[in-house]
Chain A
Amino acid sequence: MTSLDMWTYGVVGATFALYIGIAIWARAGSTGEFYVAGGGVHPVANGMATGADWMSAASFLSMAGIIAFNGYGGSVFLMGWTGGYVLLALLLAPYLRKFGKFTVPEFIGDRYYSQSARIVAVICLILASITYVIGQMKGIGVAFSRFLEVPYDTGLYIGMGIVAIYAVLGGMKGITYTQIAQYVVMIFAYTVPAVFISLNLTGNPLPQLGLGSEYIQNGVATGMSLLDKLDQVVTDLGFKEYTTQTMGNSLNMFAYTLSLMIGTAGLPHVIIRFFTVPKVRDARYSAGWALVFIALLYTTAPAVGAMARLNLMDTIQIGPIGSTEGNLLYDERPDWFKKWEETGLLQFEDKNGDGRIQYYNDADPTFTEMAESYGWAGNEMVKVDRDIMVLANPEIANLPAWVIALVVAGGLAAALSTAAGLLLAISSAISHDLLKGVMMPQISEKNELMAGRVSMLVAILVAGYLGLNPPGFAAGTVAIAFGLAAASLFPALMMGIFATRMNKAGAVAGMIAGITVTLLYVFQHKGIFFIPGTAFLMPEMGMGEDWFFGISPNAFGAVGAVVNFTVAIIVAKLTAPPPEHIQHLVEDVRIPRGAGEATGH
């Protein structure tokens, strides 16, 4: 066993022991503790837990890589996944906290005086949350298999076991305190390598400032800012300019950002975190604290992305472009390069047989002509997986083994914390909304608590099964989960608070229309229920790829939300207004006074 292995097992083992310790200490004794942690969580502590709940394996492992290869285009994730908190804080969280119930579908059921509205909300919640949880389960399996040389499925079983212990025993209470611990692990793991890399490349320890500072190459000041240098390095090799390359057209970026923002505000596992604080005013501040903790990672990520990209380019293109010595000899490649080749995340193919690595954009015709004149025969880095931008970062920067171990533990913390939050949202929708709310209203609290634990266990098993047999679409699913939440739950919640006139028929029609339109557009591009070969794009009828004004399926949730609002408002106008006691309910939700602890009754 190498010292890196020892560190990795040690750090990961220690964090797991900590999570189990918290689970034993924070057992839930009542449904109130199981669903909302007893409602007594401090707003700052809840903010931290929300940060971990929110930042998934995708944020931790993939986002910096997505930004590294999409440059400015990656901004949709940065703005989308943070700006949603403004909507959540201003439009939903305080009011839903005042309403004071355990779940999101429960608000929809009561506000729209309808069991069917509640059931539609449960279905939308489960669709969005399951799509999301598959990605987390995969993240757990991948982290284990890459770092601990444990097979993917064994890793997944260990992860499921850990979540089962603290989520089944502690419910929201156990999840809250483990998420706080997981946030701390995660943020250290993310920022420590970033600080060292920023110091290396710019002399500035703050990555947020380093990204805009002067670039220092091998100890020599270049007189250029890091971003300008990166723009130059990538465009010289035929890639798009980093700071201006976009993701689709402007309208697509607009819709993508909007879809992620609305989805963020409408995702139930985040909303229910705000049911755990004591008061309405706490819910408002807690959303602010959550965003502070999230912003620590989200403002670091663009620096990690840009710096990792520059490091990668400079590692391979060591001298002037076109000169023989300008390209790294394959035999002289660094150790981290070899290590990631073994995992298949980096792949090199010596197309022109010169023993050197050429990494450039061979899809760019102008540059390809020049490349041919240098004797290059195509881009030889045939695979550069975006996830290595975070995973390999500490090694690229020559950081010690314990930092690498910390990154592994951080990735696992990110995946576990988000998975647990999602599983709680799913299981509470089943035990509280379906079982207690619809099927067995007379169930005793003790039995409901037991039902909550059982549905948690079942949800973990289902998520584990989907993690082991991921449907083909799993990689791109996270953004779709946001689209589904944006198109279904957010509009129903917002109109429930801001539109007194919104009624049962309007809300139900809106949710169904919004989620249907979004799913149809996604299915049309990616296959019906993602089954390969069943996509039904019709280019001859003007319905080719991204046919709706160039908007991609991932960004379509924004359109779904607009459809939801429109359909709901029209239907509500044509049908009877809600009964008087509902209008009183809305008025009551709008003022903070009288908020008690969250209850299930």
Chain B
Amino acid sequence: MTPEKRAAYWRANLRLLVVLLTIWFVVSYGFGIILVEPLNAISLGGYKLGFWFAQQGSIYTFVVLIFVYAANMNRLDKKFDVGEE
């Protein structure tokens, strides 16, 4: 495997991390803490939206993020031929 290919694989990995960690940050620290007051003005079912993100929404998002990460990394492993098989 060439050093260039290694570097390209790593860059693709880092790009994916930046996107996913931005979402991670926004749903928890962003919606759940920093912006909680303005979001609480909106209601979702019987929930205030900011409160919902802090106690429910962020957790669901975290679960989705990990599976999206795993699926995308599998794809990258295949594309760059660095997988385990």
Chain A residues near B (Cβ < 8 Å)? 67, 72, 74-75, 78-79, 82-83, 85-86, 89-91, 94, 208-209, 211-214, 225-228, 243-244, 250, 253-254, 257-258, 279-281, 284-285, 287-288, 291-292, 295, 298-299, 302, 587, 590-595
Contact = CB atoms under 8 A, between A and B. Distances in A.
B29 A257 contact: yes
A281 B66 CA distance: 12
Given A83-B62, A593-B83, A587 B51 contact: no
A213 B45 contact: yes
B16 to A, nearest CB: 8
Nearest to A202: B46
B39 to A, nearest CB: 12
Contacts of A211: 46-47, 55-56
B24 to A, nearest CB: 5
30 contacts: A72-B54, A74-B55, A78-B55, A79-B54, A83-B28, A83-B62, A85-B66, A86-B21, A90-B69, A211-B47, A211-B56, A212-B44, A212-B52, A213-B46, A214-B46, A225-B46, A243-B40, A243-B51, A250-B34, A257-B29, A280-B84, A281-B74, A284-B70, A284-B74, A288-B70, A295-B59, A299-B59, A302-B56, A590-B10, A591-B82
Contacts of A213: 45-46
Nearest to B82: A591
A591 B9 contact: yes
Contacts, number: 141
A116 to B, nearest CB: 29
Contact of B84 (A74, A85, A592): A592
Given A281-B73, A288-B70, A591 B60 contact: no
A291 B9 CA distance: 27
A228 B20 CA distance: 33
Interface in B1-58: 1, 6, 9-10, 13, 17, 20-21, 24, 28-29, 32-34, 36-37, 40, 44-48, 51-52, 54-56, 58
A212 B36 CA distance: 17
Q: How large is the interface on B (under 10, 10 to 19, 20 to 34, 35 or more residues)?
A: 35 or more
Contacts of A228: 46
A226 B82 CA distance: 52
A295 B63 contact: yes
